[in-house]
């Protein structure tokens, strides 16, 4: 389930960008500035993208069912990809196209005080949304460094909001520089260049978000150190002899799936079976022999089951995100030992040639 911080950050960014989009389109209609149009398209793309992120967070919060037993958390990444595609095609594509068109067919924009006032007001609104998003994310990172938290643990929706808000502020600086240069020099090329730079910035943000969401959809490994902790907890169990074939996956940043093959010490079963044998020694040669065999088998299975349950509790105590833990019993060593024992028990005539 997505953190409340991610949801609050997305809602705040959505509200801020809706207001800013209207202001920028009004400023464009009054000035005809290509850079201002780029900024208006930028904010409109951000607004649509954050609406997609909001839908993804709400849909991804649904619990698992028969069709999707691991839940719907992956929907957040699907909508994140749609959001990134919107940034690339609408934000980057349209903006760069308009900037190139303005370079090839220049026209003098009507820049006035309203244009700069809108830029200043947009900067205040976008800056406030970015500060809110940073604080919302920081409230949940604990002692982890901020950049590492964003890279390993943060919700992709929160990362998307931070990137989009940061790009929005940088885009405002670029637009203000281009509009200011065009106003001072009376050369519309500066306005067009600023439009192209804003579009390229959006393209960079989109490609980063596509890569991040793609990794999570494909099954990204858990953050560094988590697998090592998992193996350490298993290896510290007195009943575990060996751990192999460890695999991990982030279902969402808050939910991990961990898997390992474990070789148990025979003593795990011997103590429990000894108790059964001691209690029912008289039944080994009598009519209750079959019942005793069933009790031995059930006792062995119960011993392994109880130990796996204890292992899962121990793992979750240090890795709370480990919601799904698969412990497979590895019988490789036992099979080899049985094969050696069977070989030595054969008559000399059946022994394999040296």
* Residue corresponding to tokens 């090592």: 228
Please say if the pLDDT value at position 306 is more than 80: yes
Q: List where CATH 3.30.70.1350 sits in the chain.
A: 226-350
Task: Please tell me what DSSP assigns to residue 110.
Answer: -
Token pair of 283 as six digits? 């039944």
Q: What are the tens digits of pLDDT across the range 31-48?
A: 777 777 777 887 887 788
Q: What pLDDT does 258 receive?
A: 93
CB burial of residue 194 (10 Å; 0-12, 13-18, 19+):
buried
Please answer whether residues 251 and 257 qualify as being in contact, where contact means their C-beta atoms are separated by less than 8 angstroms.
yes
Q: Which two tokens stand for residue 18?
A: 């809706």
Q: Are 85 and 210 in contact (CB under 8 A)?
A: yes
Query: How many percent of the chain have pLDDT more than 90?
Result: 6
Minimum mean pLDDT among 84-88, 159-163, 332-336: which range?
A: 332-336
pLDDT at 291 over 70: no
The dihedrals phi and psi of 241, each to the nearest 5 degrees, come to -90, -40
Which CATH class for the 4-218 domain?
Answer: mainly alpha
What integer pLDDT is reported at residue 314 of this predicted model? 93
Task: Determine contact, residues 276/296, Cβ cutoff 8 Å.
Answer: yes
pLDDT, residue 268, reads 64
Give CA–CA dist 247/219, Å, rounded. 11
What tokens does 305 get?
Answer: 């089951």
Q: Which of 17, 24, 51, 50 is nearest to 39 (CA)?
A: 24
DSSP code, position 143: T
Among 26-35, 263-272, 331-340, name the one with the lowest average pLDDT.
Answer: 331-340
For 200-226, what is each residue's pLDDT tens digit?
988 888 888 888 888 878 878 888 889
* Number of Cβ within a 10 Å radius of residue 170: 15
Predicted pLDDT at 198: 86
In terms of C-beta density within 10 A (0-12 exposed, 13-18 middle, 19 or more buried), how is residue 324 classed? middle
Position 250 scores a pLDDT of 86
Give me the helices (H) in 32-112, please. Answer: 34-60, 75-86, 95-104
Residue 145 DSSP code: -
Give CA separation, 220 vs 93, 197, 254, 274, 284, in Å: 29, 32, 13, 45, 53
Sign of CA dihedral 313, 318, 319, 325: negative
Q: Which of 6, 5, 16, 19 is nearest to 54 (CA)?
A: 6
Extract the tokens encoding 114.
């309203």
- Check pLDDT > 80 for residue 262: yes
pLDDT above 90: residue 230: yes
Q: pLDDT band at 166, cuts 50/70/90?
A: confident
pLDDT 10s digits, 313-330: 999 999 998 888 998 887
| C-beta separation of 80 from 10 below 8 A | no
Q: Please determine, for residue 234, whether its predicted confidence score (pLDDT) is greater than 80.
A: yes
State whether residue 264 is helix, strand or coil. strand
Predicted pLDDT of residue 73: 76
Where in the chain are all domains bearing CATH 1.20.1510.10? Answer: 4-218
Give the per-residue pLDDT at 342: 57
Domain 226-350 has CATH 3.40.50.2000: no
pLDDT for 232 equals: 93
Question: So what's the pLDDT on residue 278?
Answer: 62
Residue 297 predicted with pLDDT over 80: no
Q: Minimal CA–CA distance to 158: which of 138, 137, 144?
A: 137
Lowest-pLDDT range of 151-155, 290-294, 312-316: 290-294
Highest-confidence segment of 108-122, 131-145, 241-255, 310-324: 310-324
The CA dihedral of 81, 83, 89, 91, to the nearest 10 degrees, is: -140
In residues, how long is the chain?
354
- pTM of the predicted model, to two decimals? 0.69
CA dihedral 209, 44, 2, 146 (to 10 degrees): 60
> What is the arithmetic mean of pLDDT over 70-75?
76
């Amino acid at each position: 389930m997505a953190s409340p911080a991610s949801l609050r950050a997305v809602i705040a960014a959505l509200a801020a960008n809706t207001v800013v989009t209207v202001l920028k389109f009004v400023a464009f209609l009054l000035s005809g500035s290509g850079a201002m149009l780029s900024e208006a398209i930028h904010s409109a793309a951000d607004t649509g993208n954050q609406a997609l992120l909001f839908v993804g967070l709400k849909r991804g919060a649904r619990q698992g069912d028969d069709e999707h037993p691991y839940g719907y958390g992956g929907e957040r990444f699907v909508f994140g990809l749609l959001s990134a595609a919107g940034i690339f095609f609408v934000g980057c594509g349209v903006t760069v196209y308009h900037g190139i068109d303005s370079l090839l067919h220049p026209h003098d924009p009507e820049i006035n005080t309203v244009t700069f006032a809108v830029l200043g007001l947009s900067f205040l609104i976008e800056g406030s949304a970015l500060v809110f998003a940073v604080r919302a994310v920081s409230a949940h990172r604990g002692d982890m460094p901020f950049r590492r938290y964003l890279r390993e643990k943060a919700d992709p929706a929160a990362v998307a909001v931070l990137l989009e808000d940061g790009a929005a502020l940088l885009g405002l600086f670029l637009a203000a520089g281009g509009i200011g240069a065009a106003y001072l020099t009376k050369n519309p090329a500066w306005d067009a260049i600023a439009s192209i730079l804003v579009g390229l910035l959006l393209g960079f943000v989109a490609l980063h978000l596509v890569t991040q969401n793609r990794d999570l959809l494909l099954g990204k490994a858990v953050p560094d150190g988590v697998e090592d902790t998992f193996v350490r907890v298993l290896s510290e169990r007195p009943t575990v002899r060996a751990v192999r074939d460890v695999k991990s996956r982030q279902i969402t940043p808050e939910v991990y799936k961990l898997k390992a093959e474990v070789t148990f010490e025979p003593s795990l079963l011997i103590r429990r079976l000894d108790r059964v044998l001691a209690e029912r020694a008289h039944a080994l040669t009598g009519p209750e022999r079959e019942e005793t065999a069933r009790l031995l088998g059930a006792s062995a299975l119960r011993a392994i089951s109880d130990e796996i349950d204890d292992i899962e509790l121990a793992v979750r105590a240090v890795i709370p995100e480990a919601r799904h833990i698969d412990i497979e019993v590895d019988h490789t060593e036992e099979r080899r030992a049985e094969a050696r024992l069977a070989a030595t028990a054969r008559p000399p005539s059946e022994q394999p040639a040296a």
